[in-house]
Structure 1
Amino acid sequence: MKSSKQFDICIVGSGAGAGPIAYELARAGFKVGVLEKGKWFKEEDFFKDEQLARHSVFRSQFKDERHTLEEPNGDGSWSSDTTSQFWGGNIVGGATNFMSAYFHRLKPQDFRLVSEYGAIKGANNVDWPISYDELEPYYAKVEQVVGVSGKVVNHPQLEPRSTKDFPFPPTAEHPVAQRFDIACKSLKLHPLPMARGILSIPFNGRLSCEYSGYCGNYGCHSGAKASSRAALLDSAVKTGHCEIVTQAKVYRLNTDESGNITSADYFDLADGDSSKRVTAKLFVVACYSIESARLLLSSTGVKHPNGIGNRYQQVGKNLHCCAGGTGHGVFKMDKLKELEAKQLKVRGPFFNRALQDWYEIDDSAVSGKPIKGGTLDFVFDPPSPTGATSSLKWQGDNLLWGTPLKQKIKSHFTQSKDFKFEVFCDWLTNDECYVSLDTQEKDRWGQNVAKVRAGFHPHDEKVAQYLVDRGVEVMKAMGAHKSWGNVFTQPTSNLVAGGCRFGDDPKTSVLDKNCRVHDCDNLYVTDGSFMPNGGSVTPTFTIYANAFRVADKMLERMRADVSLIS
């Protein structure tokens, strides 16, 4: 075992939960080490090519490691799939490189689900140990430091803000957004310009959006997207106080007799998988919910016989994905006026509209009392002509070729326009959704892989269906010639959170309110693992904000305790 490096703070992972910690502590002069399993890719490595989205070079390899997945069959039994994986991005910056960057804040009621809406049988809902007001200044900080473009408009579900508007103007808007606004207002709804973690103007050495359409699932060629690498880690490294150690697969955290972390062991993938060790005063785990739980469960010791933080068997519990669904509206060009058809053919600008009129659902047809609802984001899919063309080769069970296939392809690309909506609502935490170690399967390095059991609560389906139906109504009001939507209950491969819930009671949580492990004084977990629930939006914005909050708590502690400085 080679003891290769020593830091004040060692961070495992480099995504949304890691970037703010590295950024703030390096700027304060502390020696920060970031251990990242993937390689360091930069803007010039990302191409506008549909075959190079989350390409295999950017992801963990199935042949080396994978997650096993258990899902309910509907009859009380569980299916097992050993080919599923939940890797968000195996590169510096993690999944933030590939996000669509819809940046909605949580709302005050998301922090107090039980107090606001009461307990739900079969769900493990809890109130957060912090309030929206405690996190709000950090939402504002993310908007400025990481870079969020948008425009604040008054609407019934607008959350309290300390700033009047976003620091960057909205990204360019597609002409069809006007059609959407008119349709929504006819339904007495409140269309919202969608805030994006994408720069509309150059900032801090990053270029503005190029409007190529290759956004969600693609790395950003201009650096406009607010990835942890482009927005934070590049700056942290420039301070001279932050080192990114790439191709470092951390497999164990070592503890002393008191239960505190003394070092992290990792396989150096660039050096023949040799095992190396890093020492530090404080440690931060931020390697994505599933892998963070796996690392803690794999790190046993005298004080942690069942894994670090797992004294009360809480590590891996209360995992959650994003519940919801999707829907589509298809507009046929030959049935539109010339100007309408011309507007729909415009490529590049974002659609950038959302609805939160049903963030709280007060409809007697659904429930006798108000319940938590969700968000509808209306978007265009990234360009994918090859994939779309491939899917057109079938007519029922018959394979098309020649003139019929050519005519169908031409019609698809010139005679209609398809855009979609995405529904986000809470995936209620429950006893059948958790991470554990798979005792049957090991990865390339001989470590137990993570097993994910992904049970969902039927309440999620009810809420999602209600929201999908509303989305279809909006599409019809816009004049879509065909519209439909579907609810999904399968776990999303990204947007996963929970597994190391924070709270005041060690018996029901892994972390305290400042995201420090209850029974390990020098270990923090700052990725989405901390979240008791995901709210009804994508979680990245909140993960960023909370990590900035925790960074402040760590700075206060380190400045007050000289023993924590090398």
Structure 2
Amino acid sequence: MSDAPTAETTHYDLIIIGSGAGGGTLAYALANTGKSILIIERGEELPVEPQNWDPKAVFIDHRYRTKEQWVDKDNRPFTPNTNYWVGGNTTFYGAALMRMKRRDFEAVEHSDGLSPAWPLDYDDYAPWYTQAEALWQVHGQRGTDPNDQPDDPPYPFPPLIDDPGVARLKSHFQAQGWHPSSLPLGVKRDDAKPLTSKCVRCNTCGGYPCMLKAKSDARSIVLDPIRDLPNVTILPGHKVLRIESTGSSVTGVVTETAQGTVQTFRADLYALAAGAANSAAILLQSHSASHQDGLANSSGLVGRNYMFHTTSAVICILPDRFDSSFPKTFAVNDFYFGEPDYPYPMGQIQLLEYMSGQTLEGQISDIIPPGLVPDVLSNDLARHMVAFLTMSEDLPREENRVTLTDSGQIKLTYTPNNLEAHTRLTRKLEHALRTFSLRQHTLFEPNFRIDSLLPLYGTAHQCGTIRFGKDPSRSVLDINCKAHDLDNLYVVDSSFFVSSSAVNPTLTIVANALRVGQHLAERMR
């Protein structure tokens, strides 16, 4: 890695704002070109410390979560469940790396309206998905998901073995005619050689940073391999205030440190990858005489069509202990596009990570304050629990949007949609669990409302605020993810999504960053 930059004297070939799945992967894809690359990250390097795997520190004290506040549609403040560190939110994600389905790229009618077609189709993304799965070391088994494409190549690594409790649960679902499929996971694990595997199948994976760097996150997969290259500079601790421009060209990025130092960095090309909410906010904040409604916003769509999935957690409480410390190994996609008596897509069921007692306390802290439930009770309860996620597509709505308050604070205006299909999916899971457990209940209401259920998942899976397309009046970016209004600004996080599908977005972000990386490599020759 090159020395710390001097803003006034250093000019780069490319500046990337954000170091997560999109920004980090783009930097990795272009690092071997020899072009000078500056990665600007508002967060610091995450320390390796015992608290990394401490459920109290992570879920109750929120040691690593941002302290900043946004406001909802009624101007009520809340703390977004997001993490600003080098590597972005992948440092804390659950490592589920799934392809969108072929039909997800097409126009699909839902019970609550139309999910629009993307400007590119599955075949355009298929080779990039394959590269992304290899780079991010994805484990899985092709053909177990009823919606898999028969001509897709095998996963680069075999599926993880199910723990005994998970295996019994899978058999129960299979006996009902369901087809549980291996959940594609990015971890550095070889179940055939457990003693030499970096991943130890711990119960502190999703929601935690990995002290062993055994999870396929942006730090270990795409940033560490390029840190020492002389043409790559990672600059942590610099929050982007605005992007400067003249006419149709970006001319600089203005940043501020925690100490109040303001600097401007300049390059030939710029790529924005700060997350769907923050990327939109940066563009809106970057208004000027030439771009009065915000940078790249001639369409008026910057910040609009905010999506983050319609999601419920279902907790199954068993009479006996659930024998699993690493339960997140399968999903159910049988109802992804509906069923014979219901023609509308419902989405996906997937297992969640292990929940310790303090993890559970932290997740329900807005309902029951931490400390009111004795640890001995919550820990014993956790050993009898298995947690599921039901996830349905969140349809794009222009009124669901990111804006800024007069003080520059992010405002999320959001109303949930597609609830009929989601409720149907959640009820199907509950019905299936009644014959497997002593009792079960839905921990949260199916309509995942940002104002009441934010502490559980909050802004995870956010996407869609800077969509791409071929028509400049109906999109912000072209099909190469370059802003229609500007000749040197790209966006490579989940903002470019046209629809959210019903799968975790990270693999699509990575695949798209690799795709855009090839375009930029050709442009910079």
TM over 0.5: yes
Matched, 1:102 2:92: no
Query: How far apart are the structure 2 equivalents of 1:549 and 1:386?
Result: 37
d(CA) in 1 for partners of 2:353, 2:438: 17
The question of whether the paired residues in 2 share the 8 Å contact of 1:102 and 1:195 is answered with yes
Among 424, 427, 440, the alignment partner of 1:466 is 424
Q: Deviations over 1:335-373 (max 9, x none)?
A: xxxxxx5xx3x4433341110000111343x4xxx2222
The alpha-carbon distance between structure 1 residues 161 and 287, as it changes in their structure 2 partners (threshold 3 A), is farther
Q: Distance in 2 between matches of 1:390 and 1:465?
A: 21
Pairwise CA RMSD: 2.9
The change in CA–CA distance for 1:434 and 1:23 in structure 2 (over 3 A counts) is same
**Structure 2 equivalent of residue 412 of structure 1:** 381
**2:438 aligned residue:** 481
Equivalent in 529, 532, 550 of residue 516 of structure 2: 550
What is the Cα deviation at residue 138 of structure 1? 1.3
- Indicate the residue corresponding to 1:535 in structure 2: 501
Q: In the TM superposition, what is the alpha-carbon distance from 1:92 to its structure 2 partner? A: 0.2
AA aligned to 2:338 is I
Deviation at 1:111, TM superposition (A): 0.7
Select 1:28's aligned residue among 14, 33, 38: 33
Equivalent residue number for residue 337 of structure 2: 360
TM-score scaled by length of structure 2: 0.89
The equivalences for 1:52-131 within 5 A come to 52-53=57-58, 56-62=62-68, 66-70=69-73, 79-82=74-77, 84-86=78-80, 88-113=82-107, 116-117=108-109, 121=113, 125-131=115-121
In structure 2, relative to structure 1, the CA distance for the partners of 1:406 and 1:309 (3 Å cut) is: closer
CA–CA separation in structure 2 for the residues paired with 1:20 and 1:390: 30
Aligned runs of 1:323-402 on 2, under 5 Å?
A: 323-333=310-320, 344=322, 346-364=323-341, 366=342, 370-385=343-358, 388=361
Q: Which moved more, 1:210-219 or 1:46-55?
A: 46-55
Q: Matched residues in 1 for 2:262 and 2:219: separation?
A: 26
Aligned residue in 1 for 2:158: 169
Partner deviation per Cα, 1:250-297 (whole Å, 9 max, x = no partner): 1111112x321011110133xx21111111010000001111001101
Partner of 1:145: 135
CA distance in 1, matches of 2:363, 2:296: 48
Q: CA deviation at 1:18?
A: 0.4
TM-score by length of 1: 0.83
Aligned match of 1:517: 483
- Does residue 268 in structure 1 map to residue 272 in structure 2? no
Aligned AA (1:435): V
- The amino acid across from 1:471 in the alignment is L
Match for residue 319 of structure 1 among 297, 301, 306: 306
Match of 1:430 among 376, 385, 397: 397
**Alpha-carbon displacement from aligned partner over 1:435-489 (angstroms, at most 9, x marks no partner):** 11112xx3xxxxx1111101222xx110111110111122224x21112234133
User: In structure 1, what is the equivalent of residue 240 of structure 2?
Assistant: 250
Q: Establish whether residue 186 from structure 1 lines up as the match of residue 175 from structure 2.
A: yes
Q: Are the structure 2 counterparts of residues 411 and 89 from structure 1 closer, same or farther at C-alpha, using a change threshold of 3 Å?
A: closer
* Amino-acid identity (%): 25
Match of 1:53, SS state, is: helix
- CA distance in structure 2 between the partners assigned to 1:262 and 1:388 by the alignment: 48
Q: What is the deviation of 1:20?
A: 1.2
Structure 2 Cα separation of the partners of residues 410 and 521 of structure 1: 56
Amino acid at match of 1:326: A
Would you say the 8 A contact 1:358–1:375 is kept in 2? yes
Assess if the C-alpha contact under 8 Å between 2:100 and 2:501 holds in 1: yes
> Conserved in 1, the CA contact under 8 Å of 2:202 and 2:325?
yes
> Residue 291 in 1 paired to residue 278 in 2?
yes
- Given that residues 216 and 382 in structure 1 are in contact (C-alpha distance below 8 angstroms), is that contact kept between their aligned partners in structure 2? no
Deviation readout 1:8-28 (Å, 9 max, x if unpaired): 100011111101110011122
The Cα of 1:213 is off from its aligned counterpart by 0.6
Task: Check whether the contact 1:322–1:425 (CA below 8 A) recurs between aligned residues.
Answer: yes
CA contact (8 A) 2:357 2:380 kept: no
Q: How many Å apart are 1:160 and its aligned residue?
A: 4.8
Give CA deviations for 1:513-539 in whole Å, capped at 9, x if unaligned. 111100101000111100011101111
Number of aligned positions between the proteins: 505
Counterpart contact for 1:102–1:194, Cα < 8 Å: yes
Work out whether residues 207 and 223 of structure 1, in 8 Å CA contact, stay in contact via their aligned partners in 2. no
CA distance in 2, matches of 1:282, 1:323: 36
Change (3 A) 1:497 1:162: same
- SS of 1:371's equivalent in the other structure is coil
Residue 43 of structure 1 and its aligned partner are, at CA, apart by: 4.7
2: distance between equivalents of 1:41 and 1:161?
Answer: 40
Letter in 2 for 1:219: P
Aligned partners of 2:357 and 2:381 also within 8 Å: no
SS in 1 for 2:507: helix
Q: Is 1:8 aligned to residue 13 of structure 2?
A: yes
Shift of 1:50: 0.7
Whether the 8 Å CA contact 1:87–1:493 is kept in 2: the answer is yes
Gaps of 5+ in 1: 71-78, 334-340, 443-447, 560-566
Which secondary structure state, in structure 1, belongs to the residue aligned with residue 157 of structure 2? coil
Summarize deviations over 1:36-93 as a string: whole Å, max 9, x none. Answer: 011012555763211232665533323xxx21111xxxxxxxx3312x1335211001
Cα offset for 1:112?
Answer: 0.9
Q: Given the superposition, is the C-alpha separation of residues 207 and 300 from structure 1 closer, same or farther in structure 2, using an over 3 Å criterion?
A: farther
Q: Is the 8 A contact 1:171 1:198 kept in 2?
A: no
Q: Check conservation: 1:5, 1:278, Cα contact below 8 A.
A: yes
CA contact under 8 A between 2:110 and 2:345: conserved in structure 1? no
Aligned residue among 146, 150, 153 for 1:156? 146
Q: How far 1:496 sits from its partner (Å)? A: 0.8
Partner in structure 2 of residue 454 of structure 1: 414
Tell me which residue corresponds to 1:337: none
1:179 aligned counterpart, secondary structure: helix
CA distance in structure 2 between the partners assigned to 1:514 and 1:142 by the alignment:
17
CA drift of 1:242 comes to 1.1
